[in-house]
């Protein structure tokens, strides 16, 4: 097991009280994809509350099934819980994205929670490409992502966070973000990262942490075929502005961004996606049309 905390140097403690929960919306979405003769098919979807997929899309043909996850309220308030579970059967190729930024509203004390669990069976490919999360000042958010891979399954995904509404001149002066990312292959945990960010913390100004940058993100790629050549090709790319870096771990490639723009973060990660997707999936990267709307 590898435990890393490169982005959580600003964590003052890894121990904290249980999440305070108030009554809010419970939104659940469960999706199952299978590879059939005609291609990848969304064979099961169930939802409870304001979270759903409207229809399966095939912008690249029948082999890749694209699902746009919609949260109609558009914002997440204290006490809300978003629970997403995705399964990709053997050989299925799945791409998941969102139509816009996730907005985490100010809370008077209760946490809002997001749980994402993705399971990919042998030969499957899952791409998790959400747009950014915007934490309003004084938001309290708990975000947990768990990726379970079997055999030679491939996962490509990213997570982008904006602390405060930068376009409105808002900063994250108070509030809290809890983040957990776990990646396992064949039931063995291969990567685990935990972070605790307190709004207004002096540590956020440190050059060793965010250097006062309001936007940060991580892209994580889990595959057995991550070569030195692929790493070098990724390192040849840089974000339009801000800072980026790429690291390779056993069976995992990890890219980081910090800067002032969620758009720049996404463009940087998309450029790495364009490098890696042909090498790992045998397909050129085609940006979801929803990103341009």
Whether pLDDT at 292 is above 90: no
pLDDT band with cut points at 50, 70 and 90 for residue 25 = confident
Cα–Cα distance between 58 and 79 in angstroms, integer?
35
DSSP designation for 183: E
pLDDT at 208: 75
| Domains of the chain by residue range | 26-203
Instruction: Please write the tens of the pLDDT for every residue from 66-115.
Output: 999 999 888 999 999 999 999 999 999 999 999 999 999 999 889 999 99
pTM equals: 0.90
Residue in this structure with the two tokens 């809010």, named with its chain if needed: 24
Measuring CA to CA, how many Å separate 281 from each of 53, 91, 94, 224, 286? 24, 11, 11, 12, 12
**How big is the chain by its Cα radius of gyration, in Å?**
18
Percent of all residues in the chain with a pLDDT value above 90, rounded to a whole number: 76
């Amino acid at each position: 097991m590898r435990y890393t905390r490169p982005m959580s140097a600003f964590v003052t403690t890894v121990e904290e009280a249980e999440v305070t929960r108030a009554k809010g919306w419970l939104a659940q979405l469960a999706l199952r994809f299978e590879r059939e003769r005609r291609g990848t098919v969304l064979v099961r979807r169930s939802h409870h509350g304001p979270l759903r997929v409207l229809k399966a899309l095939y912008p690249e043909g029948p082999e890749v099934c694209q699902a746009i996850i919609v949260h109609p309220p558009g914002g997440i308030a204290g006490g809300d819980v978003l629970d997403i579970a995705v399964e990709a059967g053997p050989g299925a190729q799945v791409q998941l994205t969102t139509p816009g930024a996730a907005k985490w509203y100010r809370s008077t004390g209760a946490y809002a929670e997001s749980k994402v669990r993705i399971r990919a069976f042998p030969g499957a490919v899952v791409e998790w490409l959400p747009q950014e999360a915007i934490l309003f000042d004084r938001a309290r958010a708990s975000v947990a992502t768990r990726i379970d891979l079997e055999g030679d399954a491939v996962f490509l995904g990213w997570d982008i966070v904006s602390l405060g509404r930068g376009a409105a001149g808002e900063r994250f002066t108070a509030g809290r973000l809890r983040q957990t990312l776990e990646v396992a292959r064949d039931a063995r945990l291969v990567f685990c990262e935990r972070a605790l960010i307190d709004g207004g913390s002096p540590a956020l100004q440190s050059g060793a942490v965010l250097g006062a940058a309001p936007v940060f993100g991580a892209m994580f790629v889990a595959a057995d075929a991550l070569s030195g050549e692929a790493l070098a090709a990724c390192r040849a790319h840089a974000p339009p502005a801000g800072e980026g870096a790429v690291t390779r771990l056993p069976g995992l490639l990890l890219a980081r961004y910090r800067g002032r723009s969620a758009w720049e973060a996404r463009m940087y990660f998309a450029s790495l996606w364009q490098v890696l997707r042909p090498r790992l999936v045998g397909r050129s990267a085609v940006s979801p049309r929803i990103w341009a709307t």
